[in-house]
A and B are shown apart, each in its own frame.
Chain A
Amino acid sequence: MADTSQRSFRIFRFNPETDDKPYYQTYEIEVESWWTVLDALNEIKWFVDGTLSYRRSCRHGICGSCAMMINGLNDLACEKQIKLIRRNPITIDPLPGFEIHKDLAVDMDPFYKALKRVKPWLINNDPPPSRERIQSPEQFHLIGDGIACILCAACTSSCPSYWSDEEYLGPAALLKAYRYSFDSRDQGLGDRIDALDNRHGLWRCHKITNCFHACPKNLNPTEAISRLQRRVIEEKT
C-alpha cells in the first residue's frame, strides 16, 4: 500500500495578463512518501488546477529547469524530498531577482545574457593536435565545479549583489568564466578580462556566500570567484 500523508502547498501565483498583483494560493493534497516537491506540483497541475505554471523537464537534477524558492531557500523542486520538509504549509515562490512570466516561471533572459558576456567557450589559437590535447587528472579536477554547473540560476538569484545591480554578471556566469579560464587547454583570460575586471564583474562580489548555500549541486562559486580575482590581478601585474 502506498504510504501517503496530507500536505499543504502555499504557492505564489501571478499572471501578468489578468492579475493586478501577486497572491498566494494554498492547495491541500495527499502526497506519497517518495515524492519530491516537483511531484506535488505535478499532482496539483494535473489533477487540481491546470492553470498553475512552472518549468520542469528531466526531474532528476541535471537539466536545471525547476529551480525555485522553497520555504525561503532556492532549490531544485525535483530534488527536494517532501518528507524531509517539516514545516507545513510548504511555501513556494519563484526565483527572486527576475521578472515573472507567470506563477513560478521567471524571465531568465538576463541570466543567459550575462553568461554570454564571459565568452563561455574554449579559447585556444594553437592548431589542435591530431589527437586529444593532454590534460592531467589533476587539471581536470581543478575545473570540476565549473563543469558540473547546470545553469539553474539558484545561485545568481540568491545573490544580494545581483539584486542591487542587474548588470552584475552573477555567480553562475563567473563560475563559467572560472571553468574556462582555469582549463589547462584555454588561453582566453585576456579575452574575458574586459567583462570580468570591472564593477559589474568580479569586483561586485562581496563574499556573502549565498550562492554557495543555494547551489543544489553543492558547488562553490564564491571560491571560484576568489581564485579568478587573484588570477586577474596576477594577469595585470
Chain B
Amino acid sequence: MIHRHDVIIIGAGLAGSRAAVEIGKVADVAVLSKVYPSRSHSGAAQGGVAASLGNISVTDRWEFHMFDTVKGSDYLGDQDAIELMVREAPETVIEMEHWGCPFSRTEEGKIAQRKFGGHTLEFGREAALRACYSADFTGHVLLHTLHEQCLKHNVNFYSEFQVLSLIFRDGRAIGVVAWDMVHGGLHTFYGRAVMFGTGGYGRAFKITSNAHANTGDGLALVSRIGLPIQDMEFVQFHPTGLYKSGILVTEGARGEGGHLKNSEGRRFMEDYAPTLMELAPRDMVARAMQQEIDEGRGIDGEDKIHLDVSHLGEQRLMERLPQITELAMNFAGVDPRVEPIPIQPTAHYSMGGIPANENTRVTMDANRTEAVGLYAAGECSCISVHGANRLGTNSLLEALLFGRRAGKQIVEDVHDLEFPNLPPDYEDAARGEIEFIRNNRGGEKVGTLRGELQDSMMIDCGVFRTKEQLQKQKEKVAELADRFRHIQIDDNGDQFNTDLLEAIELGHLLDFSGAIVEGALLREESRGGHYRKDFPKRDDDKFLRHTLAWKRNGDWELTFEKEVVLKGVSHPGFEPKERKY
C-alpha cells in the first residue's frame, strides 16, 4: 500500500511529536511509530529538562548553561548548535508549560528546578538548580502532553509500523518503507520531507537503561543507503543502573543528596571528584565506579556499588523520588528508605547518530553538505550538542528543542520541496529483507545472536576499552553478522509477528555496532564517554574532530576530517581546556 503525505516523521518520542505538532498546524503530516506514541522511550526520562529559567538559582544565564554543556561534551560539541540550544531552552520549556505540561512547583508557583550533574553557575563556581522537573517522571509528562497536543491537531499516526528502508535518490529523501506489525504487509510512505526521530542505540549493550525498542533503526537505515553516521563510539554509561537489569535510577537521586559507597562503606567519589563528589558528570562517575569494582571494592566482591538515599528520609523520598522508590522495590527487591540500592553502570545514551546541522537538516560529509528533504532530531541525531558526553537533563531539552526546530524548518521548507516521484525499485530493499528473514532456514536464533552481541559489546566495548579488546570485538561483530545470514525465525505469519520484528531489529543492531567498535578502535584517545586504557589522555591535535563512518561494500570506512565548531553563533566560544571537576 502506498501513502502520500506532505511530511513523514519516523518516531513519536519527544523529537518526532514536537515536530509533528508544529507541522500539523499547516501541513499534512504522518508519524510512524513502532510502538503506540505514548509508549516511546522519551517517557522513561526521569530527572528533568534543563533551562536557565533562574526560578531558584536566580543568577542563572544561558552562558553558564553553554559553558557547562561545552565542557561536559569534552569540547567535542559544536558550539554554534549548543548556543542555539541553551538560548532557546527557556522558551521551549515555557511553551510546554503553556500546553499544559504539569511541572513540580516552587512555593510561589513557578516551575521547580533541581540540581543535576555538571550544571553550574558562573562557569563551575557552584552547582546550579537548572533542571525543570515533574517529580521523577519528567519525560513521561512531557511525552504525554505532546502526544495530546498531536491528538488536538489531528496528526496522522501509524502506530506499530516498523521502518525497513529509506528511499533516497541523488541526495534527496523520498520516503520510507515500513512493515505493518499488526496485520503484516509492506507500506510505502512518501512525501516532500522525511524526518527521523528514532532514538538511541543502547540495545547494542547487555546492561542498558534503554527500552527493548531502542535498536537504532534510523541509523541502520541511513547507513544502508550510503550516508555516514557520526561519533558512534561515544556511548554514555550512566552510573546508576539497577544491578543486573540496568534499569535507570535517576541522577536526581544523587541530585537530592544520595551517596555512592563501595564495599568499605566509603564515599569513594572524594578520590575522583572532590568538589562535585557524586554530582560529577556521568562518564566520570561511571569510570570511578568501574575502577572501584575492578580493584575489588565492589559490594560482596561483585560488579555492583551501593547508592544510599536512606538518610534523605521517607517524606522527601516519596515526595521527590517516588518512582525510584518503587523501582528499587520492584526490580531490586530493596527498600531504599532503609537500605542501599545495588547499582552498576548501564548503557544509557547514544551521543553518536545521524549527522545533522543546527537546522536539523541531515548532512552527508565532512563539509556538512545537506541532503534535501531529510531531517533528524533527538537521540538518533548527532547535531552535535553533546559531543563526547551528554549532561543530564540536556537530552529532553535536545529532543524537544530540535524537534521544535525541525518542525519550524520543515514548515519553512515544505512548500519549496516538490512531491518526489517514487523510483521503480522503491520497495525492493524492504521486500528483500522481509523475504530473506521469513524464508531463511539456517538455524541461527535471534535471541542467541543478540545475546552474544550484547554481552561482548558490554565486555569489550564498554566503560573501559583497549586496542586488544576492540580488535577482538571487531571480529566478533563480523562473525555475528556472518551468522545472521543463517538466521531462522519460528513465526512465519503476518499477524502481530514480533519474531520477525526482533530479527529486523537485530539486523539493525549488527549493522551499526561495527561503527561503534571501529570508531572506538581508531580514536586513540580518551574523551568524554570514550575511554581507552591504552590512551588515557585526550588528544586535541589528532582527535578534536568528529568521526564519520560510512558502510561501503560491507566494511566500515572512517574519517576524522569533520571539524568541531569551536565558536558560538554570537558567543566567542570556549577554548578546549582540561576537563576537571
> A residues bordering B, Cβ < 8 Å?
15-18, 34, 36, 45-47, 49-51, 53-65, 79, 81, 101-103, 105, 107-108, 112, 115-116, 119-122, 124, 128, 130-137, 139-140, 143, 147-148, 150-151, 180, 183, 185-186
Minimal beta-carbon separation of A147 from chain B (angstroms): 5
Partner of A62, one of B43, B100, B493: B43
Enumerate 22 A-B pairs (CB-CB under 8 Å) in ascending A order.
A15-B493, A17-B495, A34-B332, A45-B498, A50-B490, A51-B491, A57-B35, A57-B211, A57-B212, A58-B41, A59-B245, A59-B247, A60-B327, A61-B327, A65-B35, A81-B333, A107-B182, A128-B98, A140-B102, A148-B137, A151-B38, A180-B100
A124 to B247, CA, bound (A): 38
Is there an interface contact between B152 and A63, defined as CB atoms closer than 8 Å?
A: no
Is there an interface contact between A15 and B495, defined as CB atoms closer than 8 Å?
A: yes
A57 to B181, CA, bound (A): 15
Minimal beta-carbon separation of B124 from chain A (angstroms): 28
A105 to B182, CA, bound (A): 9
> B residues bordering A, Cβ < 8 Å?
35-36, 38-41, 43-44, 94, 97-100, 102-111, 134, 137, 140-141, 144, 148-149, 151-152, 182, 211-213, 244-245, 247-248, 323, 326-327, 330-333, 445-448, 450-451, 489-491, 493-499
Is there an interface contact between B212 and A137, defined as CB atoms closer than 8 Å?
A: no
Partner of B111, one of A46, A79, A107, A132: A132
Interface majority SS (helix, strand, loop, mixed), chain A: loop
Query: What residue of chain B has the Cβ atom nearest to residue A18's Cβ?
Result: B493
Is there an interface contact between A134 and B331, defined as CB atoms closer than 8 Å?
A: no
Interface centre among A101, A132, A133, A136 (most CB of B within 10 A): A132
Known: A16-B495, A51-B491. A108 touches B36 (CB 8 A): yes
Tell me which residues across on chain B come within 8 A of A49, comparing CB atoms: 490
A135 to B140, CA, bound (A): 19
A36 to B323, CA, bound (A): 17
Is there an interface contact between B110 and A137, defined as CB atoms closer than 8 Å?
A: no
A105 to B516, CA, bound (A): 34
Is there an interface contact between B447 and A47, defined as CB atoms closer than 8 Å?
A: yes
Is there an interface contact between A60 and B44, defined as CB atoms closer than 8 Å?
A: yes
Known: A58-B44, A116-B151, A148-B137. A132 touches B104 (CB 8 A): no
Partner of B331, one of A60, A135, A151: A60
Tell me which residues across on chain A come within 8 A of B94, comparing CB atoms: 130-132
Partner of A53, one of B97, B110, B211, B498: B498
Minimal beta-carbon separation of A171 from chain B (angstroms): 17
Tell me which residues across on chain A come within 8 A of B102, comparing CB atoms: 140, 143, 147, 183
Query: What residue of chain A has the Cβ atom nearest to residue B39's Cβ?
Result: A63
Tell me which residues across on chain B come within 8 A of A116, comparing CB atoms: 151
Tell me which residues across on chain B come within 8 A of A58, comparing CB atoms: 39, 41, 43-44, 211-212
Tell me which residues across on chain A come within 8 A of B493, comparing CB atoms: 15, 17-18, 51, 102
Is there an interface contact between B331 and A101, defined as CB atoms closer than 8 Å?
A: no
A103 to B491, CA, bound (A): 13
Known: A34-B244, A60-B247. A183 touches B212 (CB 8 A): no
Is there an interface contact between B105 and A59, defined as CB atoms closer than 8 Å?
A: no
Minimal beta-carbon separation of B38 from chain A (angstroms): 5
Is there an interface contact between A120 and B148, defined as CB atoms closer than 8 Å?
A: yes
Tell me which residues across on chain B come within 8 A of A64, comparing CB atoms: 38-39
